[in-house]
């Protein structure tokens, strides 16, 4: 095999939280195309592509996370690639943001990631290999008005990835953050047309991204080719947040 030939990294047990729609579903399809064994968590009943194992889980509930992992491990073996993707927004200006608006977004996006990563790490330590990918956002490091809660949750993911890298890096485990910009999904479709227009004007690429463009980066950062990258923040944002 020549040095430039990509080493295949197929047949791994991959779990994506919130993989029933949007970016998570695109990530599931990308790993499936790679020949991996793919499982996704969902809350609401949804149609999944053939070959994807769906397990019900709410990332705000540790017992439901544990049950989902047990089901995935029974079907596919210990999770070797974990993508913490499940996330919500509750946008509003700080003056109107209730404590519940803040804590519920942190509980889902950040503590939810902590719950699944902690559970997955046990198997990865035993395997002496693993890939953790946290789906953050350009808002995490760039900031966005109306997103004090969301930005805090997404910035916190960088701290998780970097501390995890220092704790578990010597066990063959990497932890990286992928920070999408404005990607066309249900989440962004909810934004008022005027806000969408303003975002578009600020994106150097002059277009929104697709879930597929995020998925391919997640797949690559989880591949053998990216085995020496850990604690990185990889933007997929058309240049919106560069330097942040």
Q: What are the catalytic residues?
A: 150
The β-bridge relationship of strands 13-16 and 37-42 is parallel
**Whose Cβ is closer to ligand NAP: residue 42's or residue 69's?**
42
**Whose Cβ is closer to ligand NAP: residue 88's or residue 125's?**
88
- For 144, residues 6+ apart whose C-beta sits below 8 A from its C-beta are 138, 150, 151
Minimum Å gap between C-beta 42 and ligand NAP is 5
How crowded is residue 79: how many other Cβ atoms within 10 Å of its Cβ?
27
**Whose Cβ is closer to ligand NAP: residue 31's or residue 42's?**
42
What are the contacts of 92-101 at 24+ separation with CB within 8 A? Answer: 92/146, 93/145, 93/146, 94/148, 97/148, 97/149, 101/149
**Whose Cβ is closer to ligand NAP: residue 46's or residue 163's?**
46
Residue 163 falls in which region: left (phi positive, over 0), alpha (psi -120 to 50) or beta: alpha
Six-digit token string for 39: 């499982």
Minimum Å gap between C-beta 175 and ligand NAP is 16
Q: Where are the alpha helices (DSSP H) in the chain?
A: 22-33, 62-76, 99-106, 112-127, 138-142, 148-168, 186-189, 193-202, 211-221
**Whose Cβ is closer to ligand NAP: residue 130's or residue 238's?**
238
Which residue ranges make up the site for ligand NAP (CB under 6 A)? 17-18, 20-24, 41-44, 57-60, 85-88, 108, 135, 137, 180, 182-183, 185-188
Minimum Å gap between C-beta 100 and ligand NAP is 14
Minimum Å gap between C-beta 214 and ligand NAP is 7
d(CA 196, CA 44): 27
Four-CA torsion 234, 237, 239, 241, nearest 10 degrees: -70
């Amino acid at each position: 095999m020549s040095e430039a030939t990509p080493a295949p990294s197929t047949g791994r047990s991959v779990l994506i939280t919130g993989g029933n729609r949007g970016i998570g579903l695109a990530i599931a399809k990308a790993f499936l195309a790679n020949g991996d064994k793919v499982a996704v968590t969902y809350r609401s009943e949804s149609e999944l592509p053939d070959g994807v194992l769906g397990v019900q889980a709410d990332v705000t509930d540790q017992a439901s996370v544990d049950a989902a992992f047990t089901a995935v491990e029974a079907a596919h073996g210990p999770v070797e690639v974990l993508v913490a993707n499940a996330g919500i927004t509750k946008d509003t200006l700080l003056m109107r943001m209730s404590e519940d608006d803040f804590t519920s977004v942190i509980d889902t996006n950040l503590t939810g990631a902590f719950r699944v990563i902690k559970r997955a790490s046990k198997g990865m330590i035993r395997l002496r290999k693993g890939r953790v990918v946290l789906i953050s956002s350009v808002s995490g490091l760039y900031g966005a008005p109306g997103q004090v809660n969301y930005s805090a949750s997404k910035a916190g993911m960088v701290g998780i990835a970097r501390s995890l890298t220092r704790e578990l890096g010597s066990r063959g485990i990497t932890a990286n953050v992928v920070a999408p910009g404005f990607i066309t999904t249900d989440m962004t479709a909810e934004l008022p047309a005027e806000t969408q227009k303003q975002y578009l004007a600020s994106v150097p690429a002059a277009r929104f991204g697709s879930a597929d463009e995020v998925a391919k980066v997640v797949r690559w950062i989880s591949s053998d080719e990216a085995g020496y990258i850990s604690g990185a923040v990889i933007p997929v944002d058309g240049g919106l947040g560069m330097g942040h």
